[in-house]
Amino acid sequence: MSNSNPNDPRPPPPQLEVDDTYRYLSGLGNSFSSEAVPGSLPAGQNSPLLCPLGLYAEQLSGTSFTTPRHRNLRTWLYRIKPSVTHEPFHPRDPPNRRLVGDFDDRTTTVATPTQLRWRPQEVPRAPPHVDFVDGLYTICGAGSSFLRHGFAVHMYAANKSMDGSAFCNADGDFLIVPQQGKLLITTECGKMLVPPGEIVVIPQGFRFAVDLPDGPSRGYVSEIFGAHFQLPDLGPIGANGLASARDFLSPTAWFEQAHRPGYVIVQKYGGELFTATQDFSPFNVVAWHGNYVPYKYDLSKFCPFNTVLFDHADPSVNTVLTAPTDKPGVALLDFVIFPPRWLVAENTFRPPYYHRNCMSEFMGLIYGIYEAKADGFLPGGASLHNCMTPHGPDTKTYEATISRLGGDANEPSRLRGTLAFMFESALIPRVCRWALESPSRDLDYYQCWIGLKSHFSHEEVHGDDGPAATGGNKDDKN
């Protein structure tokens, strides 16, 4: 493609989409190609003796070389200098001590079945200035990046663009959910603008830099070790619905050529940070082709399916992306959303049901009010309900819902102005000590359910001398 340059007046070819500033390639799992300079992509082979324009060829592998073809991911990058041209790696000074890549470590993490909730963290507008890398902190996770099995949940709060440095995560893929403040992400494949309401996936190994064109930003990150995200199967839903492959957008080639002495690559490796300096920008890829690419997705494009007569569907019906384990139907990590939608179920308790789940559920709120929590769960806040930990609607939500009985409870109602999400995993996360001890932790979270009272009424069902008058006392209300 020769017109990936935003100043090019020609209309984009069919596969390209345009936002305010950038052009994107549409599709998920496609084999793409993109050229910032016409003729820079080698024709007919990946590694010619001499690449066009004197570029170096470099392959970035996202799966083992021998992964079956339908899951094999790799991209060929044609760059001004290869990535290897740098000084040796050293442990980063200062380190970021709030990042974890191995969750067996009991000095930093704790196992707890307690329901956990956090208030949103304020993003400082004044100094100290913190960029995306220093603003990242792990909340919980399971497994190990070294063993290529596990996940981590991080949050970030940053008030400064990355300057003269790029981040590279050797541990896993990042799925970033900005909640406040747009992200401008420069990657080796090109640039992407990601406002709150969109998500972005940066696969393992890509170098990227995060700028904050709107000022301070905060949000959530899930990281997966040893797997990649894919669209969920649709089963009986059919061939269409939920997230559509064509709404996923990947960047088009963009490069910078200038001499950049002292440019720093920050590499996350086993949860620890290392740095290496080089004298050029890592965003020196003039052309690329392949199927291992960063991508973004606008959550408002999601096409929700739901019950249309009675009962509450399981949240899996709202899965945007899933990272599978080897067990069919069991996710290392599902990314699920609770978007605006119509609720039409009759004779049904419409908010989420009370439940205990063998999977663990981390939730965040992008905007609005979550349907299960009348208060206390705020945009930018978070909650964690680990494996088999009971949870569900708070007292206010329960009472407000049943008080509509006999009123308009059966009328269609539209959930508006809300967007919550869940990272759900089959693995049981351990929680970082700093998250448990954080001043943002809501230590009274359990109180939101303590007021749930018994509505049990013995007489209503069986009458005074009914057959089931065994056990229990009709006056026993607590």
Residue positions annotated with a catalytic role:
312
361 lies in the site for Fe ion, by CB under 5 A: yes
Stretch that binds Fe ion, among 138-146, 199-207, 321-329, 354-362 (CB under 5 A): 354-362
Window 413 to 452, contacts with Fe ion (CB under 5 A): none
**Nearer to ligand OMD (CB atom), residue 54 or residue 235:** 235
Written in H, E and C, the secondary structure of the chain is CCCCCCCCCCCCCCCEEECCCCEEEECCCCCEEEECCCCCCCCCCCCCCCCHHHCEEEEEECCCCCCCHHHCCEEEEEECCCCCCCCCCEECCCCCCCCCCECCCCCCEECCCCCEEECCCCCCCCCCCCCCCCCEEEEEEEEECCCCEEEEEEEEEECCCCCCEEEEECCCEEEEEEEECCEEEEECCEEEEECECEEEEECCCCEEEEECCCCCEEEEEEEEECCCCECCCCHHHCCCCECCHHHEEEECCCCCCCEEEEEEEEEEECCEEEEEEEEECCCCEEEEEECCCCEEEEHHHCECCCCCCCCCCCHHHHEEEEEECCCCCCEEEEEEEECCEEECCCCCCCCCCCECCCCEEEEEEEECCCCCCCCCCCCCCEEEECCCCCECCCHHHHHHHHCCCCCCCCCCEEECCCEEEEEEECCCCEEEHHHHCCCCECCCCCHHHHCCCCCCCHHHHHCCCCCCCCCCCCCCCC
Residue 32 CA to residue 28 CA, distance in Å, equals 10
Stretch that binds ligand OMD, among 66-74, 154-162, 248-256, 352-360 (CB under 6 A): 352-360
CB of 196 to ligand OMD, least distance (A): 20
Is 154 labeled as ligand-binding? no
Window 376 to 415, contacts with ligand OMD (CB under 6 A): 391
CB of 385 to Fe ion, least distance (A): 6
Window 425 to 444, contacts with ligand OMD (CB under 6 A): none
**Nearer to Fe ion (CB atom), residue 247 or residue 361:** 361
CB of 349 to ligand OMD, least distance (A): 11
CB of 357 to Fe ion, least distance (A): 6
**Nearer to ligand OMD (CB atom), residue 76 or residue 423:** 423
**Nearer to ligand OMD (CB atom), residue 212 or residue 422:** 422
CB of 355 to ligand OMD, least distance (A): 6
- Let me know the angle formed at the C-alpha of 254 by 250 and 256, rounded to the nearest 5 degrees: 150
Is 398 labeled as ligand-binding? no
CB of 358 to ligand OMD, least distance (A): 12
Give the one entry of ligand OMD, Fe ion, none that residue 155 binds, where binding means its C-beta sits below a cut-off of 5 to 8 angstroms depending on kind. Answer: none
| Number of shown-chain residues binding ligand OMD (CB under 6 A) | 8
Residue 220 CA to residue 209 CA, distance in Å, equals 17
Residues in the chain: 478
Stretch that binds ligand OMD, among 135-143, 175-183, 270-278, 355-363 (CB under 6 A): 355-363
Is 292 labeled as ligand-binding? no
160 lies in the site for ligand OMD, by CB under 6 A: no
Q: Which of 1, 136, 372, 384 binds ligand OMD (CB under 6 A)?
A: 372
221 lies in the site for ligand OMD, by CB under 6 A: no
**Nearer to Fe ion (CB atom), residue 250 or residue 360:** 360
Distances in Å between the alpha carbon of 256 and those of 33, 209, 259, 260, 298? 19, 13, 9, 10, 27
**Nearer to ligand OMD (CB atom), residue 60 or residue 422:** 422
Q: Which of 205, 352, 364, 429 binds ligand OMD (CB under 6 A)?
A: 352
Is 223 labeled as ligand-binding? no
CB of 355 to Fe ion, least distance (A): 6
361 lies in the site for ligand OMD, by CB under 6 A: yes
Q: Which of 25, 41, 285, 422 binds ligand OMD (CB under 6 A)?
A: 422
Residues that bind Fe ion (CB under 5 A): 361
Q: Residues annotated as binding site?
A: 355, 361, 370, 391
Q: Residues annotated as binding site for Fe cation?
A: 355, 361, 391
Residues that bind ligand OMD (CB under 6 A): 315, 352, 355, 357, 361, 372, 391, 422
Q: Residues annotated as binding site for homogentisate?
A: 370, 391
